Amino acid sequence: MVSLLADIAVAALLATIYRYIVYPAFLSPLAKIPAAHFSAHFSSLWLKYIRYHNIENRTVQALHEKYGPIVRLGPSELSINCYDEGLKTVYGGGFPKTTWYPLQFAFYGFTNMFTTIDSHAHSVRKRMVSNMYSKSSILASPNLRATTTAILHTRLLPLLASMAVSPIDILPLAHAYTMDSFTAFHFYLTEAPRVTAWLRRWLGVHLVPAAVTNGFQELEAWNLQKCDEAAKAIAASKTDDEDAPVVFGTMLAQFRKLHGGECWGSAADGEGAQRRRLEIASDMFDHNVAAMETSGLTLTWALYELSRRPALQARLRRELLTLRPPVSALDAAAALPDPKTLDALPLLDAVLQETLRLWPAVAGRQPRCTPPGPPCTLAGHADIPPGVAVQAYAYSLHRNGEVFPAPEEWLPERWMEAEPARLAEMRRWLWAFGSGGRADQAFRRGYLH
């Protein structure tokens, strides 16, 4: 009996060694892919270590420079850094998202368009807002023109003028401006004036983990309050084309169309209405926070780089002065130039493209999962099985020296001087907003700001 138990124990030990060490390290289809660390074949501890110490992006970039376009980060986790059999296959091919997204970015206990894993459910949410975020809708939006004019002339430009003789901490100001701008589009302008003061306090007070948690709860409560106020304004017909909750109103109308009946209410109005209320609020939370973080960071980096190059800054100013009518901080009643004319400013476009390249707001991993079915091929490696986490990093893609010479330098000129073929290749590799069906739907709105 003792001998039998010993045999079973040995067999179990050998099976465990085979399952968790021998197979992943030597026999798995992933074993032939260069490993980031010797332990990456059978353990994720090394990967957890670099993530804990916040050195993942730089470390993965160095690994791609050493090993090439594909690296094994863990027993079932890969990083890709190529377009063909990389970005095109994974993101253009509709590989599903992983559970990392709802664990990180679901709000009020509900998923949103960004965190939805199921492709069909994502498509339903995407159709709700795709027309609203199209380039033609953005450029023709009376709400966008009115709110942008009000925020620029009555808030941002006067504030900058009052601070012209002293140093400016541009990061909180950029975040406040983008939050004001997007909140006016998502909800309505009437509520936006309080955002700047609230945001500055929120950014400046919470410095320790417990306070960050409190800040997150405060942000959720603020977002839900704005949703409730927008719903009341719609119900009371207190909106117009120039001051309307464009995004929220569209989401609410689409939810009513999709689910029927009332889609906004408290728990007293029924479980269905309360559920829809929190689902819509989760989407609006995602829209607001993503807008503030990404656009605010991009604006900050652009201003930082321009501040280091006075001559380039002067060139950009001369280009902007060609807009008609000119933008003036002294005339709050003046109309803004047609947004379409911004597309015709080559230096402005180059500054934005290069800022998005060198300083992408989302520089880290965007994981996907190899789909069920037959194995796939990634970066020249066939037989990649289903269920493997695979991800690209904008940080690494944008530092490919073959596509972007001198990748660590901020050079807007590269976008203006490149031959058409080179320019097309750079645009293929520019991954500031993702790609494929899951790309950022609001990138045109952010780009315009």
The continuous run of DSSP H or E covering 389 comes out as strand 389-392
Neighbours of 406 (CB within 10 A): 9
In contact, 252 and 239? CB cutoff 8 Å? no
Is residue 298 included in any domain, yes or no? yes
Q: In the prediction, which pLDDT does 395 show?
A: 98
**At a CB cut-off of 8 Å and minimum separation 6, what does 280 contact?**
227, 248, 251, 252, 255, 263, 264
Read off the pLDDT of residues 1-50 as tens digits, 9 standing for 90 and up: 667 777 677 788 888 887 878 877 787 899 999 999 999 999 999 999 99
Among residues 23, 59, 119, 104, the alpha carbon closest in space to that of 385 is found at 23
In contact, 307 and 313? CB cutoff 8 Å? yes
Is residue 5 included in any domain, yes or no? no
Q: What is the CATH number of the domain that holds 340?
A: 1.10.630.10
**At a CB cut-off of 8 Å and minimum separation 6, what does 383 contact?**
29, 375, 377
Read off the pLDDT of residues 306-364 as tens digits, 9 standing for 90 and up: 999 999 999 999 999 998 887 765 565 667 788 788 888 999 999 999 999 999 999 99
Q: In the prediction, which pLDDT does 439 show?
A: 76
Instruction: Name the amino acid, one letter, at 434.
Output: G
In contact, 224 and 279? CB cutoff 8 Å? no
Pairing of strands 376-378, 389-392: unpaired
Q: Identify the sign of the CA torsion 130, 342, 186, 284.
A: positive
Instruction: Name the amino acid, one letter, at 200.
Output: R
In contact, 346 and 315? CB cutoff 8 Å? no
The model carries a pTM of 0.88
Q: Give CA–CA dist 321/194, Å, rounded.
A: 31
Q: In the prediction, which pLDDT does 205 show?
A: 40
Neighbours of 265 (CB within 10 A): 17
Is residue 94 included in any domain, yes or no? yes
Is residue 66 included in any domain, yes or no? no
Q: Give CA–CA dist 22/28, Å, rounded.
A: 9
In contact, 448 and 342? CB cutoff 8 Å? yes
Q: In the prediction, which pLDDT does 268 show?
A: 53
Q: In the prediction, which pLDDT does 441 show?
A: 66
User: To 5 degrees, how large is the angle CA 340–CA 189–CA 287?
Assistant: 75
The residue segments making up the domain with residue 208 are 76-448
Q: In the prediction, which pLDDT does 14 show?
A: 82
Which strands form 70-74's sheet, in the order they lie side by side?
A: 70-74, 77-80, 389-392, 368-369
For 389, phi then psi, to 5°, come to -75, 130
Number of domains in the chain: 1
Which residues of the chain, if any, have pLDDT below 50?
A: 193-195, 198-199, 202-209
Is residue 371 included in any domain, yes or no? yes
Is residue 19 included in any domain, yes or no? no
- DSSP structural state of residue 44: S
